Amino acid sequence: MKRIVAALAATTLGSLLLAGCAATPTAEPSGSPSAAPASSATAGPGGTLASVETLFGTVEVPQPADGDLTVIALGWSDAEVALALGAKPVAVYDWQGFGADNKGVGPWATSLFGDATPTVIQNVGDDLDYETIASLDPDLILNTRSAGDEAQYQRLSTIAPTISAPPGTGAFATTWDAQTRQVAQALGKTTEGDALVAAIGQQLAAAKQANPGFAGKTAVTGTKFGDAYGAYIAGDARWDLIEALGFVQNPPVLALETSGFFAPVPAEKISVFDADVAILFPIGYSLDELKADPLIASLTVVKENRAIYLDAEQELSQAFSAASPLSIPIAVAGIVPQLAAIIS
């Protein structure tokens, strides 16, 4: 499995690097790897690097006078997207608790920092350490997959141009491809961003084509957290990945009241998880505790061994949740064979 994952990740980055060879070269962001794609931006020092449409209007990103772009990545997986595009953020908000050893990103992405060591900002909820962010003197702040809080945006914008989600995007509902394009545009790397989206799209299409039995089968991506249960729906990257493989949402889930990309599941309606296949993972629980839950154990999809369990401490679950161009190949390589074993 490790070899398959490595090969998929290498293919993705290789496609991007090849695409970058045809781009118009300009100054690279500070600390970019020598093999990183040339930027598609053409503005010289002192000009405008990018003009990006966001939730809060158009944001202009000036070209740094010294040509070195200092980037802080605050949104979920923004750092991994930036790394995939050849930029090394000087600070990373560690949404998934990867820790300083992994430089705040998934272990599949850590090596792309090379010798650079970013400031890892611990996930402490809604509050941001604005003093630390300001002290790093960024030229650009990425916050594309986030709560979309306007007060937070206004405060960050006093520090540096801040790129939030595209217009019309709900809280934490920025899709991986929209996020990639948003970050790429902000970095002045639109050509490379399009190439990266195309490369991942081709991998998903290939997995779907190789498994025609997935088409039209019902699925759920469900979790237990606290004393509650929930199912993810369109707008959540985990469900969107499963849908991209050909599955459809279990109809009873769609009948629930929703909150953004999530549908709370009352205990008396736990049977909404009874789809053709269920991908289940705990939040704040161990995997053993999830499996021992009597309501989960009572499900037909569980009794008939049509449930896939993801351990929150394992790389596959982390990659599934990260939903970045660097993690999606890992999620596909780990989940698709399990889905295929059920849908046969």
Question: So what's the architecture of 26-189 in CATH?
Answer: 3-Layer(aba) Sandwich (3.40)
Which pLDDT value is given to residue 235?
87
Q: What is the pLDDT of residues 246-259, one digit of tens each?
A: 999 999 999 999 88
In this structure, the number of other CB atoms found within 10 A of the CB of residue 256 comes to 17
Phi/psi class of residue 239: alpha, beta or left (left: φ > 0; alpha: ψ in -120 to 50)?
alpha
* Polymer length in residues for the chain: 344
Phi, then psi, of 324 in degrees rounded to 5:
-110, 165
Alpha helices (H) along 149-257 = 150-157, 176-186, 190-210, 237-244, 251-254
Range in 6-10, 133-137, 140-144, 219-223 the model is least confident about: 6-10
pLDDT of the residue at 17: 29
Residues 282 and 290: beta-carbon distance below 8 Å: yes
Query: Per-residue pLDDT tens for 271-310?
Result: 999 999 999 999 888 899 999 999 999 999 999 999 999 9
Residue that has been written with the tokens 């000036």 in this structure = 62
Q: Which CATH number fits domain 211-342: 3.10.20.880, 3.40.50.1980, 3.40.50.1580, 1.10.645.10?
A: 3.40.50.1980
- Note the pLDDT of residue 130: 96
Q: What is the pLDDT of residues 19-55, one digit of tens each?
A: 222 222 222 222 322 233 333 333 445 699 999 999 9
DSSP string, 45-86: TTSEEEEEEETTEEEEEEPPTTSPPPEEE-STTHHHHHHHTT
DSSP 255: T
CB atoms within 10 A of CB 296: 22
State if pTM tops 0.75.
yes
- How far does Cα 70 stand from its chain's mean position? 21
Q: What is the pLDDT of residues 91-108, one digit of tens each?
A: 999 999 999 999 999 999
Residue-averaged pLDDT of the chain = 87
Task: Check: CB of residue 7 under 8 Å from CB of residue 152.
Answer: no
> 330 to each of 109, 248, 272, 337, how far by Cα in Å?
11, 22, 28, 12
Where are the domain boundaries for CATH 3.40.50.1980 in the chain? 26-189, 211-342
User: CA separation (Å) from 95 to 35, 98, 99, 120, 216?
Assistant: 28, 8, 10, 10, 33
Q: Which of 11-25, 194-208, 231-245, 278-292 has the lowest mean pLDDT?
A: 11-25
Unique residue bearing structure tokens 């293919």: 11
